[in-house]
Structure 1
Amino acid sequence: MRTVVITGGTDGMGAALVRHHLGAGDRVVVIGRSRAKFDTLRGTATGEAAGRAEFLGADLSSVAENRRVIERLRADHERIDVLVLAASFIRQRRHVTLEGREASWVLFFVSKYLFVTGLADLLRAAERPIVVNTAVPGARAGAIDFDDLELSRGFTFARSNAQQRRANELLGLLAVTRNPDLAYVTWGPARLVRSSFAGEVGFAMKLGATVFGRLAGQHPDAAVAPIIALIDDPVPGRNAYRGPKRRPLVTGPDDRAAITRLAEAVDGSLV
């Protein structure tokens, strides 16, 4: 029986993956903000599958919450076969948390960095471990502002999004260097996916996502089919996909130095 951990697992694609893995006989740990959504999701499971679902409530834009969840996972599990990083809460504007940190940077990168590094030994204990990071691949090599990672100056949604995406591609380089048996996939859907679109965004973005999602968006169960295929046949190393199609990894001349610098900056900021 595989142990599958899914952040953002109570809605959208995360919930679709939970349904699939419970049906496939896996043990699934669901990390999300809503216990009510988890209870509804677990209620759709048949037979003994509901008993294989566990919920850990957390707001992953909080560093302290990330650390608490990771320690709980380490205490309760000897290995993790599949780690899906799919938590999402879109903010168009810069938002500072009660910890004094920029919320989107923490949720979309720092949280993922903490999970990948903090659970590395549990992933190493699995026979065919895989990390699926739902960060759309393809951001330019120079997208990271190392002197202002939380974009305290000149924040825009586009800059924030590109920086997070690039950082998550580099995180894969760190992960597979430390564990060559690990499959690390940066993955984004091929087109819009129908979901509740959680976030704090303007009316135009909310309306556009809702209308176009209903008209042309994929159902989450269909959208995650390529992820399921990758999980069932993991290939060690670092890869990028949009839907079922492999995409070239963006590489820069100083990628190894960049991920070392990024890791040192994140670790230093968390002391």
Structure 2
Amino acid sequence: MRTIVITGGTDGMGAALARHFLSAGDRVAVIGRSRAKFDALLAAVGDPSAVERAEFVAADLSLMADSRRVVAQLTARFEQVNALVLAASYIRRHRHVTAEGHEASWALFFLSKHLLVTGLAEPLRASGRPVIANTSVPGAKAEALDFDDPELTQGFTFGKSNAQQRRANELLGILATRDIPDLSYVTWGPAGLVRSSFAGEVGAGMKIAATILGPLIGQQPDDAVRPLIDLIDNPTPGRAAYRGHKPVPLVVGLHDEQDATRLGEVAEAAEDET
């Protein structure tokens, strides 16, 4: 029986993945903020055995203390983790500082992922053919990351914040594949619009997409994640990037290895502060 860990596993594509893997007979640890949504997810699976194979871990992953607690709980519970799916999302169009003093989007979309990837390295290694599936859409420019101000204390915009997170998560793949032999690290985004609630501060464009275009042309989350399920079921060691089923080129910068090392140091320094 495989063990699948899914952040953001109570909503949207994360919930679709959780339902699929529970229906397939896997053990699934769902990390989210709503126990009620987790209970609804289990009810939707409709398999009494899923209750024994499912575990809910309540956490706000924009908080480093919660991310550390999640790592501690999962490493105590599971000797092996076959797949780690990083799908937690909460959109913020404006700069917001958490109670721990970090910019919330940077904390949720990168720092928590760094903590989970590094903290779960041992159980991932133990599984033999581990997969990390990161739903940070690939393709940000190599120069998108400001190492001197990653939390954007100056000149914050939603676009700049989003690009930084995406580039950081591609570099995280370099760190992860250095540390975990035979790891398949995939940055993945859906091929098109997905019917989603877009949790968070949603701008006018996203509201239109969610309320008008989504029901007309958007994919159901269960359909949107099928390509990602295939990648998790048939892992290929190394780094890769996909939009839906389609592989896309990895972004290559002039100093990727050095940038990845520097990013790891930045992340560890930020995590040590809280």
Common fold, TM-score beyond 0.5?
A: yes
Per the alignment, residue 137 of structure 1 pairs with 138
Per the alignment, residue 67 of structure 1 pairs with 68
Per the alignment, residue 190 of structure 1 pairs with 191
Per the alignment, residue 16 of structure 2 pairs with 16
Distance 1:70 1:137 in 2: 25
TM-score under structure 2 length normalisation: 0.97
Per the alignment, residue 128 of structure 2 pairs with 127
Output the amino acid matched with 2:16.
A
Per the alignment, residue 30 of structure 1 pairs with 30
Distance 2:39 2:168 in 1: 33
1:137–1:165: 8 Å Cα contact kept in structure 2?
yes
Per the alignment, residue 7 of structure 1 pairs with 7
Per the alignment, residue 211 of structure 2 pairs with 210
Distance 1:189 1:13 in 2: 9
Distance 1:183 1:69 in 2: 22
Which runs of structure 2 are paired with 1:183-262 in the superposition (5 Å)? 183-262=184-263
- Spell out, residue by residue over 1:90-130, the C-alpha distance to the aligned partner (whole angstroms, 9 max, x if none): 01111111111100001001111111111001100002110
Per the alignment, residue 114 of structure 1 pairs with 115
SS in 1 for 2:49: helix
Per the alignment, residue 148 of structure 2 pairs with 147
Query: Runs of 5+ in structure 2 lacking a partner?
Result: none
1:265 aligns with 2:266: yes
Which runs of structure 2 are paired with 1:157-176 in the superposition (5 Å)? 157-176=158-177
Distance 2:131 2:203 in 1: 35
Per the alignment, residue 52 of structure 1 pairs with 53
Shift of 1:197: 1.2
1:139–1:166: 8 Å Cα contact kept in structure 2?
yes
- Spell out, residue by residue over 1:41-75, the C-alpha distance to the aligned partner (whole angstroms, 9 max, x if none): 11122131222111001111111110011100011
Output the amino acid matched with 2:242.
Y
1:3–1:26: 8 Å Cα contact kept in structure 2?
yes
Identical pairs, percent: 64
1:7–1:85: 8 Å Cα contact kept in structure 2?
yes
Distance 1:58 1:119 in 2: 16
Distance 2:236 2:199 in 1: 32
Shift of 1:202: 3.2
Output the amino acid matched with 2:228.
I
Q: How many corresponding residue pairs?
A: 271
SS in 1 for 2:56: strand
Shift of 1:204: 4.5
How big is the alpha-carbon RMSD for the aligned residues of Structure 1 and Structure 2?
Answer: 1.0
Distance 1:264 1:103 in 2: 19
- Spell out, residue by residue over 1:202-256, the C-alpha distance to the aligned partner (whole angstroms, 9 max, x if none): 3443233332211111000000000110011100000000000000000011001
TM-score under structure 1 length normalisation: 0.98
Output the amino acid matched with 1:7.
T
Shift of 1:177: 1.3
Output the amino acid matched with 2:237.
P
2:82–2:130: 8 Å Cα contact kept in structure 1?
yes
Query: Runs of 5+ in structure 1 lacking a partner?
Result: none
SS in 2 for 1:200: coil
Output the amino acid matched with 1:176.
T
2:93–2:203: 8 Å Cα contact kept in structure 1?
yes
2:125–2:181: 8 Å Cα contact kept in structure 1?
no
1:60–1:106: 8 Å Cα contact kept in structure 2?
yes
Output the amino acid matched with 2:142.
A
Per the alignment, residue 42 of structure 1 pairs with 42
